[in-house]
Structure 1
Amino acid sequence: MITIIVADDHPLMRSGVKSVLQSDEQINIIAEAQDGQEALNLIIKHTPNVALIDVEMPKMNGLEIARRILELKLKTKIIFLTMYKDEDMFNAAMDTGAFGYVLKENAAEDILEGVKTVASGDYYISPLISSYLVKRLNAKKELELRQPSINDLTKSERVILKLIAEGKTSQQIADELHISYKTVENHRNNISKKLNLSGTHSLVKFAIKNKEKI
């Protein structure tokens, strides 16, 4: 049995969605809400498997509700029910940790499959805008593959990194390159930022580990 809460400030829309959901014996609507604050309170109280939430609601919008659920680490999976086909809105919604995005114009056709898909742990996007999810996943994959590397450094920064790998201090590097100590420190900070390094010894460890590549 899939437990679900339906939240929409439009009574007719809420009634229509409930009617579709109630046609399936696997789904149990345990509560409904007409504004965002009521929806959040009900989700916290009941922790349903799925919460079907309108993006635009009074008192608290759907995105705010989803963020709160994420902060509270509740197990309820969010499906946004919306009229927005805009890609930016879609990405903003999915950034909140939502599992589904169903267009109101296709709710009658999509809602049952969407609820069952999300309840099983998968994502569901209305087919009309499914390309948004593909683009989103591809962008995420490209970002993961695009790891910072030594090739992102300037020639001067690579020289500094090579000397760090040799175990030299900032003052020794400054003396050898005839530049100021402050300039060396600036280079070190810039190198760390470019390589996403943090911590007192992380730059030294990276330099030693990649000495042959510099």
Structure 2
Amino acid sequence: MSQIIRVLVVDDHPIVRKGMAQIIGEDPAMEVVGNSSNGEEALSFLLTNPADVVVSDYEMPGMDGIELARRLAGLKPPLPLVLLTMHKDEDLFNAATDAGICAYLLKDEVLDNIAQGIRAASGGESYVSPSLAQFVMRRSRSTQDLKERHTGLDSLTPAERAVLKRIALNLASKEIASELHISPHTVTTHRRNIAQKLELTGKHPLLNFALANRSAILSLPD
């Protein structure tokens, strides 16, 4: 028998939480292990209650679904999040993807797609509402365009790509060093090598490049 996927539901509306739990609970391969009304409550719940996937609304008081995803991505091991939203907005989609969200679902498509989104997230895969396929395609094209403009990206080592992605998230060298378990000196060396390979010049060239191309950089393979 396959392992049951344990799901935590997060939404600030009690009726929505109850309805979502019922929908998810209809799948015999899934179990709703809890529900929380906001991001802070979800993080507190997870301290003592294991879950495999978090299903969260985007708009909530305090910590929204994207910030919750960032916090979950920093756990050891990271915990995947399925984001639910009513907004068919490309900037929001890119921000969510940049934050490491595994599945992005429109609320009016939840009935048809929530199980697929949870399964994908649980398996380390991505899932997006079918009606948003054009967002995925444009994001992929932007990454390809960036690689064509800066051919040195293909010469970056996995360690250098890891550093570049964190620069794109506007992390300081000490934060990058801590997250990657390397020394600040090693981060500085990687930053210098990346700038040389990409032929970047000027004041703060690497930071400016990374922030200007954040979504495309974060879509690069690890």
Q: Extract unaligned runs of 5+ from structure 2.
A: 153-194, 202-222
1:28 maps to 2:31: yes
Distance 1:19 1:41 in 2: 23
Q: Secondary structure at the match of 1:72?
A: coil
Matches within 5 A, 1:42-121: 42-121=45-124
Shift of residue 196 of structure 1? 4.1
Equivalent residue pairs, number:
156
1:40 maps to 2:51: no
Contact kept? 2:25, 2:32, Cα under 8 Å: yes
Match of residue 199 from structure 2 = 195
Shift of residue 29 of structure 1? 1.0
List 4+ stretches of structure 1 deviating above 6 A.
none
Matches within 5 A, 1:91-170: 91-147=94-150
Q: 1:72 to 1:120 in 2, by over 3 A?
A: closer
Q: Secondary structure at the match of 2:137?
A: helix
Structure index of larger Rg: 1
Shift of residue 74 of structure 1? 3.4
Match of residue 8 from structure 1 = 11
Shift of residue 137 of structure 1? 2.1
Give a deviation string over 1:14-59, Cα, whole Å, max 9, x none: 1111111111111011111011210122234434221101111112
Shift of residue 193 of structure 1? 9.2
Over the matched positions of the two proteins, sequence identity in percent amounts to 33
Distance 2:99 2:48 in 1: 20
Distance 2:141 2:52 in 1: 28
Shift of residue 139 of structure 1? 1.6
The TM-score normalised by the length of structure 1 is 0.66
Q: 1:133 to 1:194 in 2, by over 3 A?
A: closer
